[in-house]
């Protein structure tokens, strides 16, 4: 159970923290919701995987969060890499040949200095100097195309009336830290997470906290199945409970603001029911119990058990009725009766 928590910072940037002082598999390693979900899927993959570091390339999800939730801070930590640069070239006024030499070998005429717009090229002197300049400033470089996509998606979030109102009623990007105490092992595990939205208690969203998620498909039914499969309810339960322990102001509902990763960057809104959060809490407790045992016993199971009996060593794949469900059980509700629906 969570025994203590506090708000460590607000308006934090979403890039990875420096975790190099800790080692996965040690009880002192600070874990966030992502770690727990990854551990739950495969303890060994999580243990042996490489933690994200600041040098990693910025992702679309990261940039949408920056531009949507903390836009004033974008310029402090990120640099938009131009798509092109202006190259200086020497051009012969007689034959038009270009090259590094100041004099044209064919015509014997002095070349004239010209400029040319070229696609960005990391090897070019100008581009290398740009990269070094921003590296010295500890800016994360972001490609022009990625930045444009993130800005377009952030603009969609800002343009939709409800998501804009939800965001402007909220403190954003709140870093929560806390301790999970496990009775069976006696471990106190440091937890930390970033809460994307915390609406003011007095606003009409005052019973909610929220996450901003990037998704391939926010269609109702499709997203829910994907999200629960990826343990979005576990992450939500962790955020809700850390907030409650840190502030003494528990919120009953978790909101998910969704934005699709491709044009036209549709925006969607979902909210948790009490039962989905309760399922998330139960799963969270079960993961934490297994996580503490894995640390204590230094036993990090892979995907299937090693066993002399092949029936045990090879996990069975059975046909389950849900595998035959169409991808979107709510599809029919999006269309008028009698309208022809093509689903494939
Ligand atoms: Zn020439």
Order of strands across the sheet with 253-260?
2-9, 170-181, 188-199, 208-215, 253-260, 267-271
**pTM across the whole model:** 0.86
Ligand 1 centroid–CA 137 distance in Å is 43
17 CA to centre of ligand 1 in angstroms: 56
Three-state DSSP class for residue 164: helix
Tally of residues, the chain: 344
- The string of pLDDT tens digits covering residues 105-142 is 888 899 998 888 999 999 999 999 999 999 999 899 99
Distance 127 CA to ligand 1 centre (A): 29
* d(CA 97, ligand 1 centre) in Å: 6
Confirm if 238 and 193 have CB atoms less than 8 A apart: yes
Full set of structural domains in the chain with CATH: 2-77+144-297 (3.90.320.10), 83-136 (no CATH)
User: What tens digit of pLDDT does each residue of 265-316 get?
Assistant: 999 999 999 999 999 999 999 999 999 999 999 999 999 989 999 999 999 9
C-alpha span between 256 and 166 (Å, rounded): 11
CA atoms within 13 A on the CB side of 35: 22
| Contact (CB, 8 A) for 206 and 200 | yes
Q: How far is the CA of 204 from the centre of ligand 1 (A)?
A: 73
Judge contact between 214 and 261, C-beta under 8 A. yes
Place of tokens 């969704």: 258
Q: CA-CA distance, 229 to 37, in Å (whole number)?
A: 10
β-strand 140-143 against 78-81: which pairing, if any? Answer: parallel
Q: Which residues have C-beta under 5 Å from ligand 1, the single-atom ion?
A: 92, 94-95, 97, 104, 106-107
Query: What separation in Å is there between the alpha carbon of 117 and the centre of ligand 1?
Result: 22
Question: Is 340's pLDDT higher than 70?
Answer: no
């Amino acid at each position: 159970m969570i025994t203590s928590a506090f708000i460590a910072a607000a308006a934090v940037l979403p890039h990875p923290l420096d975790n190099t002082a800790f080692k996965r598999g040690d009880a002192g390693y600070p874990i966030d919701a992502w770690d727990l979900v990854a551990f739950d899927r495969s303890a060994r993959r999580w243990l042996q995987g490489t933690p994200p570091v600041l040098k990693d390339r910025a992702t679309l999800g990261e940039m949408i969060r920056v531009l949507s939730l903390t836009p004033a801070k974008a310029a402090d930590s990120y640099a938009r890499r131009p798509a092109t640069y202006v190259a200086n070239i020497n051009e012969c006024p007689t034959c038009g040949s270009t090259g590094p030499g100041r004099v044209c070998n064919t015509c014997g005429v002095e070349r004239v200095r010209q400029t040319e717009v070229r696609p960005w090229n990391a090897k070019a002197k100008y581009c290398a100097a740009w990269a070094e300049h921003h590296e010295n400033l500890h800016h994360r470089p972001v490609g022009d195309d990625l930045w444009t996509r993130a800005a377009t998606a952030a603009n969609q979030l800002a343009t939709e009336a409800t998501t804009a109102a939800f965001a402007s009623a909220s403190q954003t990007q709140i870093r929560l830290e806390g301790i999970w105490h496990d009775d069976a092992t006696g471990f106190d595990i440091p937890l930390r997470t970033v809460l994307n939205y915390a609406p003011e208690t007095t606003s009409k969203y005052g019973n909610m906290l929220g996450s901003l998620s990037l998704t391939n498909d926010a269609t109702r039914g499709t997203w829910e199945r994907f999200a629960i499969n990826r343990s979005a309810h576990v992450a939500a339960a962790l955020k809700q409970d850390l907030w409650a322990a840190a502030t003494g102001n528990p919120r009953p509902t978790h909101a998910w603001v969704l934005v699709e990763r491709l044009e036209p960057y549709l925006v969607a809104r979902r909210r948790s029911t009490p039962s989905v959060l309760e399922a998330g809490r139960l799963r969270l407790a079960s993961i934490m119990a297994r996580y503490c045992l894995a640390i204590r016993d230094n036993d990090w199971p892979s995907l299937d058990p090693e066993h002399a009996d092949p029936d045990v060593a090879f996990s069975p794949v059975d046909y389950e009725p849900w595998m035959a469900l169409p991808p979107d059980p709510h599809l029919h509700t999006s269309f008028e009766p009698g309208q022809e629906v093509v689903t494939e």
